[in-house]
Structure 1
Amino acid sequence: MTSLFSKFDGTASALGALVQAGGRNPFAVVIEKPISSTVGVIEGRETLLFGTNNYLGLSQSERAIKAAQDAVGKYGVGTTGSRIANGTQSLHRQLEQRIAAYFGRRDAMVFSTGYQANLGMISTLVGKDDYLILDADSHASIYDGSRLSPAQVIRFRHNDAEDLHKRLKRLDGTPGAKLIVVEGIYSMTGNVAPIAEMAAVKRETGAYLLVDEAHSFGVMGEKGLGVAEEAGVEADVDFVVGTFSKSLGTVGGYCVSDHPELEMVRLNCRPYMFTASLPPEVIAATMAALEDMQEHPELRTHLMANAAHLHAGFHRIGLNASRQVSPVIAVTLESLEQAIPMWNRLLDLGVYVNLSLPPATPDHRPLLRCSVMATHTPAQIDQAIEIFRQAGLEAGAIAEPAAL
């Protein structure tokens, strides 16, 4: 009889090879204790955290921790229901109002995760007679949302507004709505979308535009609203989707929009309708972290300065790092034979980053994906660069010793 699990044989074999080559499962690292936003205990050792997406360091916000504690005492630990049943409390409405107001939008929907925000909005907005036009390097949540939708899916080359325009022009005269979906900062590589060019295509073709600002919310723009604010094209964005699990350090997702029909989306969006709502302590902590972000714009300044520091350091020591400066900095390696020993050696020496492997990487080469925080000190960044230099030399990712 065929095993139900035989389909996973390839994954099991690949994971076994990874563990055998490096002595660790890179996808099962345990942060045993957070010491601060930038340092945690891994394998009993204090380790610099450069792989957490905690861009503003707000997972350790004293205000957010106090708000969560107070909410538990007042509301309990959970809602036990979905938003359309018993799962809407006053805190949920408050958060939606605050997020909408912060973006200067008419309304907001809050989801239990950022993944569900993309899954829900994309699968609900486009129907069988519509077209969904995706950047080829879109996040898994976007692709999964497209699979739940009956719409026809068209992909365009990554960050290529000209290719987007060409594919939309081919649809001239065809019935059905067209929804363009792009990300602000792409989570794997740190590439920033040319959103002004995308918005121009949207205006010319009459399409709708959804921007996933998960990795750019709190990072870019004067108020931290993302790439659309940075480029001055917020009015061209119909739907902004994002998450609380990056810059705000909690968990959950949202969509903001000026379209009054967003209220009808609530009643048709299955990932919203059939999932338990966020617990009150998470909602309270998220609102407190949002206040922190609003009151401390200098966090974004520190974050981008730190990103530039690490980016320049990687290039200086001879690593193949991301072209653009953003809080996501990917170091591309040529082979698994380089990537696995280097990732393991980094952890041995006290730096945790994310190991990303083909086929999940854009060009089918392995990546060491780093995320920078506003709360990293210059000394911590210099220490990480030196550890990368040592590990890179040992793994053959750096051809010659480079002076710091």
Structure 2
Amino acid sequence: MAHPLSERSQLRHLTAQLDELKQKGTHFRLRVLDDIQAPVCTYDGKKVINLASNNYLGLCDHPKLREAAIQAIRDYGVGSGAVRTIAGTMKIHMELEEKIARFKNVEACVVFQSGFTANAGTVSSILGKEDFIISDELNHASIIDGARLSRAKIKVFRHKDVAHAEELLKEVASEPGRKLIITDGVFSMDGDIGPVDKLCDLADKYGAIMMVDDAHASGVLGRNGRGSVDHFGCHGRVDVQVGTLSKAIGALGGYVCGSKDLIDYLYHRARPFLFSTSHPPSVAATCIAAFDILENEPERIERLWSNTRYFKEQLGHAGFDIGGKSTPASETPITPIIVGDGRKTMDFSRALFDAGVMATGIAFPTVPEGKARIRTIMTSEHTREQLDQALDIIVKTAKQMSIL
């Protein structure tokens, strides 16, 4: 007879590691959203001002996106029934890819199930063990995983240090393998913008493939939210553009944009694309509607940036470290409040929640030891009253905890 699970010792090492997190004060439990992802919503039964979501443009519950999803369910059902390469490519999937390609000013696009799989699946499939990856030290985990899976040799340059990136390129210039330069367009923990234009210059100079992950730049930077490539005027110079449908677009998924041959190759070789069922038609329809809104309502992005500027100014005036001292300076709606100590940061986050503000504490290993922070994110839909109320709570709580 099998032993009851509680008596088995095979996974006891995981319990020990969880106990260690609890001792450090960085263990957390998932907060559960009871209603709609919105500027003010209900987590764990408590109404809070939400400064933690990636819903930059408030599209998660937009009426046009809801209508598009409901109509797609009526027209096409709830699921696609297969992976894209077998029987799961629906007309609506192709419409979405064509719409994104037009929006991003490229030849073609492929949609993945998530931004993570878009990055990991692309990097791992376009390079091999003879090749080299020149990667910013603060690039997203999905880029790092894709680089490891590719078995290419990974060279990491200091954050946004273009001269260091060039040194690394010079070191491998005479090696036979291909070279890939890769950066985030917007870095997810510090909110600063990658030097896309200068890295494009390096890619041109050394004949390297240029790749940008625009997850946090999509819907935020560039004309109508076209991203960092548009922001820097680098159209035609970035070989691989990755974006997300899960943040500003308000739904779920990731995408890769580039040449027709790149996308055709990913159809054949990107493992997450080959071995994952395609999006439900309702999600594809939702994303199409979201791109329509980006095209037709640029005022959403203007509100996002107005809120961002105001919130940063007020946090700075209050005396918080919001980057630029021990960490890079934020340049986008992602604004970290640097606390430093992991335990204190998580205690601060919990105290803010109890006082009515949802602002997530982030500690090691997501950020380096000693760089723990509360990460705040603005949206276009926060009102000035909500921001003032949140600022009041943040300042009062920080003073009570001797953070300010």
Shorter-chain TM-score tier: over 0.9
Q: CA deviation at 1:15?
A: 4.0
Distance 2:343 2:118 in 1: 37
Distance 2:67 2:20 in 1: 44
Distance 1:38 1:16 in 2: 30
Distance 2:254 2:10 in 1: 33
Q: 3-state SS of the aligned residue for 1:33?
A: coil
Q: 3-state SS of the aligned residue for 2:224?
A: coil
Structure 2 residue aligned with 1:280: 281
Q: CA deviation at 1:2?
A: 9.3
Distance 2:20 2:386 in 1: 33
Structure 1 residue aligned with 2:81: 80
Task: Choose the corresponding residue for 1:330, options 327, 336, 344.
Answer: 336
Q: CA deviation at 1:117?
A: 0.3
Gaps of 5+ in 2: 1-6, 324-328
Contact 2:115 2:255 (8 Å CA) reproduced: yes
The one-character-per-residue Cα deviations of 1:290-337 (angstroms, maximum 9, x if unpaired) are: 111111111111111111111111111111113233111111112134
Structure 2 residue aligned with 1:301: 302
The percent identity for this pair of structures is 30
Q: TM-score, normalised by structure 1?
A: 0.93
Q: Which amino acid in the other structure matches residue 384 of structure 1?
A: A
In the superposition, relative to structure 1, how do residues 27 and 321 fare at CA in structure 2: closer, same or farther (>3 Å)? Answer: farther
Matched, 1:12 2:18: yes
Deviates more, 1:2-11 or 1:255-264: 2-11
Q: CA deviation at 1:194?
A: 1.5
Distance 1:246 1:392 in 2: 29
Matched, 1:145 2:146: yes
Q: Which amino acid in the other structure matches residue 153 of structure 1?
A: I
Distance 1:199 1:362 in 2: 28
Q: Which amino acid in the other structure matches residue 194 of structure 1?
A: P
Structure 2 residue aligned with 1:94: 95
Q: 3-state SS of the aligned residue for 1:329?
A: strand
Aligned-CA RMSD value: 1.7
Distance 1:117 1:324 in 2: 25
Superposed structure 1 runs of 4+ greater than 4 Å apart? none
Distance 1:169 1:136 in 2: 18
Contact 1:341 1:395 (8 Å CA) reproduced: no
Q: Which amino acid in the other structure matches residue 388 of structure 1?
A: I
Distance 2:369 2:164 in 1: 18
Structure 2 residue aligned with 1:342: 348
Gaps of 5+ in 1: 399-404
Contact 1:238 1:259 (8 Å CA) reproduced: no
Q: 3-state SS of the aligned residue for 1:102?
A: helix
Q: Which amino acid in the other structure matches residue 313 of structure 1?
A: Q
Aligned residues: 393
Contact 1:106 1:260 (8 Å CA) reproduced: no
Structure 2 residue aligned with 1:54: 55
Contact 1:311 1:325 (8 Å CA) reproduced: no
Distance 1:199 1:177 in 2: 16
Q: Which amino acid in the other structure matches residue 345 of structure 2?
A: A
Matches within 5 A, 1:261-280: 261-280=262-281
The one-character-per-residue Cα deviations of 1:154-191 (angstroms, maximum 9, x if unpaired) are: 11111111111110011121101111110011111111
In the superposition, relative to structure 1, how do residues 292 and 397 fare at CA in structure 2: closer, same or farther (>3 Å)? Answer: same
Task: Choose the corresponding residue for 1:29, options 12, 28, 31.
Answer: 31
Matches within 5 A, 1:194-273: 194-273=195-274
